[in-house]
Amino acid sequence: MSIAGLRRATRETVSGLPREFWWLWTSTLVNRLGAFVATFMALYLTIDRGYSASYAGLVASLHGLGGVISSIGAGVMTDRIGRRPTLLIAQASTAVSVAALGFVHHPVAIAGVAFVVGAASNASRPAVQAMMADIVRPEDRVRAFSLNYWAINLGFAVSSMAAGFIAEVSYLAGFLIEAGMTAVCAVVVFVKLPESRPRRTKAEEAAGEEVRLGHVLRDGRFMSVVGLSFLVAFIFQQGSVGLPVAMGGAGFSPADYGLAIAVNGVLIVALQIPVTRFIERRDAGRILIVSSLLAGYGFGLTAFAGSVGVFALTVCVWTLGEMLSAPTQTGLVVRLSPTQGRGRYQGMYTLSWSVAALVAPLVSGFVIDRFGAEWLWGLCAVVGTVAAVGYGVLMRRLPAETPIAAEAPAEAKPEVSTA
């Protein structure tokens, strides 16, 4: 593709989205640019504070547990009090707790604050996704989710590189910089983003109808998506869980792992926009099937890797699956979510990833220790196949054109107040 063609493709990809989306996108980017703590937490605890690797693992687990719990609570808040207040509470709480984490020294205090940081930082996800679904037209949602996913990865790539340099100077500076940038995100939300929660229709108000967690749990089709999302998330977690352990056990250095995994971020930043153009108007079911197979067999091929170059090639395969899966799966969640229950539905979807982040380290460690890394990569291939079959069965039961969750009718306009 020529430079002119690339510019035209980029312009078409980013055009037509509302101004509110771009402020939300900016908030996401700034937030991820300042995400230093997750990158150097283990080094901070073991090297700077002198704690054991077991204690660092415990703190990481508590951080993840906080995210699991807040997924549901934040989803309920998103529907009840609104997207904007939930975002403000989540980001303000994250800023305060991250700053506090840099000053506490007692091991119990560190563990407790880390739990709060995990809960607060994860609480914004249901609200962000629900707000995007509110303000972006249905036909543009896959593109919007893809651009947001691109911002997440761009910010993470930059912050990961910056974290090393900041840690050389001062770990405390990293905590304070992340707290400050999260506070900036809260200011952006407060100043630039109106509340987008759709008003209830007259019929809904008369009937007193409200989507509760029980409705979500009884929604068989949606819970099937949550289960399949957990399987896919379990596979992708191996990029930061099973892969470094397996490479270390095979005699490769941390630098070798860093070089291989860096391919993931580079590809996403370079190719997410053209991939978005490719998938935007294509059948979601086929994309999810292909992405699940690419994820599963991309990691499966790792069993045959014997050099850094081959490891990098396997990363290319499953990264393509990741680029296809992330926006398409999020769009499917919106499609299956009733307008008045988007927060709860998004919270349940977020929960699938949070639980996978807890389960994946336990399973990968057990399989590698008991059977060897090759069995883990074989398991990933099996899980990817199961997920692909599951998506194939599920999508055949959905209407080809008409969304399951009807969009808000004309009388159910989004709220626009900024109070």
Identity of the amino acid at 294 = L
**Non-local CB neighbours of 388 within 8 Å, separated by 6+ positions:** 288, 289, 290, 292, 293, 296
Per-residue pLDDT, averaged over 128-138, amounts to 88
Residue 1 has a pLDDT of 52
**175 φ, ψ to 5°?**
-60, -45
d(CA 175, CA 123): 19
Q: Which two tokens stand for residue 59?
A: 């703190």
What does the alpha-carbon distance between residue 302 and residue 315 come to, in Å, rounded to a whole number?
9
Instruction: Specify the pLDDT at position 315.
Output: 93
Interatomic CA distance for residues 33 and 389, integer angstroms? 37
The answer to whether 258 touches 249, Cβ cutoff 8 Å, is no
CATH of domain 19-199: 1.20.1250.20
In the structure, what pLDDT confidence band is assigned to residue 180 with cuts at 50, 70 and 90?
very high
pLDDT tens-digit map of 75-118: 889 988 898 999 999 999 999 999 999 999 899 999 999 999 98
The answer for residues whose C-beta is within 8 angstroms of residue 194's C-beta and 6 or more apart is 20, 84, 415, 416, 417, 418
Predicted confidence at residue 279, as pLDDT, reads 81
Bridge partners (DSSP) of residue 414 are 198
- DSSP assignment of 125-168 equals HHHHHHHHHHHS-GGGHHHHHHHHHHHHHHHHHHHHHHHHHHHH
Burial of 35 (0-12, 13-18, 19+ CB in 10 A): buried
State the Cα–Cα distance between residues 379 and 376, nearest whole angstrom: 5
Alpha carbons 111 and 21: distance in angstroms, whole number: 35
Residues 375-395 pLDDT 10s: 999 999 999 999 999 999 988
End-to-end CA gap in the chain: 47
pLDDT, residue 170, reads 85
Q: Enumerate residues 6+ apart whose C-beta is below 8 A from 47.
A: none
Is the pLDDT at 136 greater than 50? The verdict is yes
Which of helix, strand or coil describes residue 307? coil
User: Which of the listed CATH numbers 2.30.110.10, 1.10.287.1080, 1.20.1250.20, 3.50.50.60 matches domain 217-406?
Assistant: 1.20.1250.20
The residue to which tokens 């800023």 are assigned: 95
Domain ranges of the chain: 19-199, 217-406
Question: What is the residue type of 376?
Answer: L
Do 19-199 and 217-406 come out as alike in CATH topology?
Answer: yes
Tens of pLDDT, residue by residue over 24-78, are 999 888 888 877 777 677 778 887 888 887 787 788 788 888 888 888 888 889 9
